[in-house]
Structure formats: C-alpha cells, structure tokens
Amino acid sequence: MAEEVQYTEDNIRSLDWKEHIRMRPGMYIGKLGDGSSYDDGIYVLLKEVLDNSIDEFVMGNGRTIEVTIKDKTVKVRDYGRGVPLGKVVDVVSKINTGGKYDSKAFKKSVGLNGVGTKAVNALSTYFRIESCRDDKMKAAEFSKGELTLDSPIEESSRRKGTKVIFTPDESIFHNYQYRTQHIERMLWNYVYLNRGLTIIFNGEKYYSERGLYDLLEKNMSDEPLYPIIHIEEEDIEVAVTHTNAYGEEYYSFVNGQHTTQGGTHQNAFREAYVKTIREHFQKDYDARDIRSSIVAAVSVKVMEPVFESQTKTKLGSNDVGPDGPSMRAFVNDFLKKYLDNFLHKNPEVAEALQKKIHQSERERKDLAGIKKLARKRAKEVSLHNKKLRDCRVHFNTNKDRSEETTLFITEGDSASGSITKVRDVNTQAVFSLKGKPLNSYGLTKKIVYENEEFNLLQAALNIEESLDDLRYNKVVLATDADVDGMHIRLLLITFFLQFFPDLVKNGHLYVLATPLFRVRDKKQTFYCYSDKERRDAIEVLKGKAEITRFKGLGEISPDEFKNFIGEDIRLEPVVIGKDKSVHELMEFYMGKNTPDRQEFIIENLKVEQDLVEDLEEV
C-alpha cells in the first residue's frame, strides 16, 4: 500500500517576489527559448525595459533612446525624467510598485510597471539601474533579484534619464543568443508607432516620419495593387492596401505594444473593414473576397488595456476605456467616416480595390469544387497512411495552440523514423515527405489541392482557411545537409512563401540545425555544426580524432538524434530580408536560370569544394 502523503502547515510556504519569478518565469515573460524565435523570453526582457522608456517619450520626455547589446549584455539609456531617486530600488524590486498606477502621470501606458522590470531583474545574473535627475544620480545593482549595491544619491552632471543594464541568466535561458533581425523588428515597430522618436541600436539609427505608412511600405512582401491608404485620428491609426499574395496579413498594436496574436481591436478592424467596403460599393461581397490578400496595420490607444497574458501579445479589452465606447463601435465609426471618405475622394483607388475583390471572388469559386475533392482525398489518405505522426496534444478551436508544439517535416522514411523514435510524443509531430516537392513558384493555389503532397501538408497544418487555425507553433524543416536536402528545403520554403507567406512572416517556420560532423576519440565526443567547431574539437582532442561527416539525417542513430531535438535543439528561423520582396527572392532562386543565380551557385560550390579539400587533408 502506498505511503500516505502528509499535508500539514509545514507544506505551506510563501515565496518572495524574486523566488516566484525565477520558479515560474513563464507566468511573467511567456516562453523562455534560446532567442531563435522573435517572442522568446530574452526579447521580452528587452521589451519590458524599453516600454518604460517609450512611455516617457509618449508623455513628452526624451526623444532619443540608446540600445546596446554586446556579449549578451543589454544597455538601454533614455533621456526622460529619470526615476524618482528615492524609489530607484523599489521600482525594480517591489511587485506592484510604479508610477503608472497614477493615471495623471501615464494616461495610456503600455504597462503598469508593476511586474515588468522586476522580472528582468529577477531573471538576470547582473542588473543595474541608474537614474539621473535634478543634477543628482542614484544607482543600484542586483544579481538574480538580490540587491548587491545600493549607492547613495550623489551629485552628477549627466543628462537626466534612466539607464538599465542587464545580463539574462544562462541557467534559465539556455544557450541563448540575441538575433539582430528580431531586435530590428521590435525597434522599427517602436519608431513607426512613435513618430519623432529616435532609437539608436549599436550605432544604427531608427526613425520614422510617416508611422504605419512606413511600416506597411517596409514590410510588404509584394507590390501593392494601389497606393497605401493611410488614415488616422487621435487614438487610432490605420494603413491598408492589397497585394497579389495569398492570405491576410495584419500588424496590430495597442498603446505601442505589438499584439502579435491580435485581439479585440484586430477582430474589430476585420469586421468593420468588411462592413465599410460593402456599404461603400453597395454590394454584399463575401468577407473572404474583401479581405483576401489584404495587408493592414492598426494601432489603437486605450485606457487601462486588458491583455490575455503578461507578455501582452493579445488584447482582451472589449472597450476603449472605462467610460468609452466598445472597441467594435470605436473602430467601425472610424472606418465608416475616414475610409469611406478616402474612397470617395480617390475613385482610382476604389476601382483597383473593387477589381481585386472581383478577382478573389472568381478564384474562390473556381477552387470550390476541387477543394471538396481534395479534402476527401486527404481524409482517405490520413486513415491509411503514416505520413503524419501526430503529437498527443488535443486541440480545441476555442483555445490557442500550445506554444510548445512542433511539426518536423522530413524527407524519406529513414529520417522520419529516427525522429519519430526519440521525439517528445506529447508536443512533437512528424510529417514525412515522399520525394522532392513540386516547385510551386508562379503557380496558383489550385496546385495546393491537386498535388497530393501539398494537399496533405496543408491538411496536417490546418491552414486552409486561416493561419489562426495553425495546429503547430513551430514548423521545422528537417532535411539532409547535402545538395538534395538543401533543394528540398528551398522547395518547401517556396511553397510557404507562395501560398502561406504569413506563416513565415509571423515567425512559425524554422530549419533544424543538425551536426555536420562527429569528432571523437575513446573518451570524448563532439557534435559540430560548422567547420570552425570541427577544427576546435580536433584541437581539443590533440588531433587524434575520428571524424564522421553526416550527409543525411538517416545516418544519425536515434540515440544520437535525441540530443538534437531535445532541450538543446538548434533552430534557425526563416526570416524574410527587407532588401528584396518575396517575389524577387523566389524569382532569383526558383525562377528561370539567370546569370546572377549561376554566379551565386558557382561561388557556393567553390566554398563547398574548399571544405571538402580541407577534410581530405585531415
């Protein structure tokens, strides 16, 4: 008989603020991650500090913020009013302490400063805050939330403002790395939403003159079908256009906070936009045809916003303030007035928009019949085929997908077998490809339903109607590190960019990094992901090493594979560069042969050849 567990007063304990944050960091900053995803915890730490500086700017204090990141240490310096000197320690170490509870000081703030900087403090091995105001300065330092230095207030000639320096704790954020592309995305959004603000990141200047207009212009992956419509009022700003890309693409913000998961304001916009367009054209168009290929940015400012998590990625507020109208009425009234007026004053834009709606309508009706057959076929195949080895997480349409869920897309039975044997069956699923996918560049969405491989992959991901229904938070391309594997990877990326670009833009697509080499002797084994790591390993083993070059995932035993898809998994996010549109990128890589691409291939083959020669020397 099992021993009875006692439940007494001794089982009850109270954690202080820092212990609770360190024990349950996910409650405060969402997922931890290693920095490969834009919403990993290390970026939330940076955002929490930046939000305080942004709120100072919004209140008319300080027009420049300096951000420096070097050797995993972050510095943020603003030129606002500075934290009141007598409260410098309290605002970063006492939960529910902050100036933003006073609505006179911060009317439409991002956060309440009740938790954010405290979480940064508790989750950092080194944390320092300096405040300068009234020709005086106060500084304090902490380690994992413990106060290590409490400097007295002293005279200072420095400009007023606040500086925060922190180094995230590597025991919590394992193998983390700040990725420039994710930081740039965050900083650009800050300046788009705060015209007149300058952010200097590692010496580079970020500044925007036209707000959301600039955001759309910089982030669109395809050419707009008509000039960007840019309309605004005191507490709401909208920029919108259409392209020929598939899907719907939204950038939504609340009080300067990027709500990557949308929320009530984004839903209100989607609904109000359809209503306004129908009324303007006096046609009962299908909502899917009106919103197909839309690219829109929406920013609202509200009193006391309610978010669905501490990381503030989804707005839950139904009203714009305690005494204000509902979010739906607020957004609808704005669009009814300003969007309708714009279309009346710009008939050429209205004509281009209506033409796009008619085009989407024709495409939808052309696909209706084939969709039905494709769904039936996908269901039949899934009943008799093990292409998808799903995870055990049960999905509910009323619940957000788990942030931990991952789908590995593999080539062939050998690789999928290895991953399947050692995966976490609760959260990791495997989809096995059969041969090379079709080059889908330039093809219409009809091919997604006619091609069995694409149809089954779309069904597995559940993205036919909307990205909101995506069943896995991370879609990982797990292909061999050889020419064929690279080609398959490129074909899959082309598929997603061609038909589901928002899946890539919203940070769901990754490439699994697996070791290129195993370097070992009788005592030690090193798995090396680059030629430099290989050389370093050989040096450690004094040159007496057995070197194995892994060309295919099937060559890696399941026992070894377990190391590469577990806690120390290395994922490279697929990020679209800003220098070229998606169309230009796919034309270069997947279109007809061009001299530029031939030169690119020759150069990369030379690099590969040099590597092979180096190995032969070893």
Alpha-carbon dihedral 460, 464, 468, 469, rounded to 10 degrees: -40
Among 45-49, 147-151, 291-295, 562-566, which is the least confidently predicted range?
A: 562-566
Architecture of the 212-363 domain: 2-Layer Sandwich (3.30)
Residue 213 gets the label, from left (phi > 0), alpha (psi -120 to 50) or beta, of: alpha
CATH numeric code, 385-514+553-578: 3.40.50.670
- Cα 199 to Cα 39, 62, 186, 237, 268, distances in angstroms: 20, 11, 11, 21, 31
Q: Print burial letters for 495-521: b (CB count within 10 Å at least 16), e (below 16).
A: bbbbbbbbbbbbbbbbbbbbbbbbbbe
Q: Classify residue 604 as exposed, middle or buried by CB count within 10 Å of its CB (0-12, 13-18, 19+).
A: exposed
- Asked if the domains at 212-363 and 385-514+553-578 fall in one CATH topology, the answer is no
pTM over 0.85: no
Q: Is the pLDDT of residue 99 over 50?
A: no
- Cα 32 to Cα 4, 473, 503, distances in angstroms: 36, 14, 21
**Per-residue pLDDT, 102:** 46
d(CA 478, CA 462): 20
**Per-residue pLDDT, 398:** 40
**Per-residue pLDDT, 600:** 55
What is the secondary structure of 135-166 as a DSSP string?
TEEEEEEEETTEEEEEPPPEE--SPSEEEEEE
344 and 351 in contact (C-beta within 8 Å)? no
**What is the per-residue pLDDT across 337-367, written as a single tens digit (0 to 9) for each?**
999 999 999 999 999 999 999 999 998 888 8
Helix (H) or strand (E) holding 520: strand 517-520
| Higher pLDDT among residues 261 and 67, named by residue | 67
d(CA 264, CA 329): 12
Domain spans in the chain, listed from the N-terminal domain onward: 17-206, 212-363, 385-514+553-578, 517-549
In DSSP terms, 64 is beta-bridged to 198
Q: Which of 610, 581, 584, 579 is nearest to 597 (CA)?
A: 584
Q: 205 falls in which pLDDT band (50, 70, 90)? A: very high
Architecture of the 17-206 domain: 2-Layer Sandwich (3.30)
Q: Which of 242, 245, 302 is nearest to 273 (CA)?
A: 242
d(CA 547, CA 334): 66
Q: Which residue intervals of 77-228 are DSSP H helices?
A: 88-91, 116-122, 180-193, 212-219
Which single residue is written with the structure tokens 């911060």? 106
Helices (H) and strands (E) in the chain, counts: 20, 23
| Higher pLDDT among residues 454 and 597, named by residue | 454
**What is the per-residue pLDDT across 145-171, written as a single tens digit (0 to 9) for each?**
999 999 999 999 999 999 999 999 999
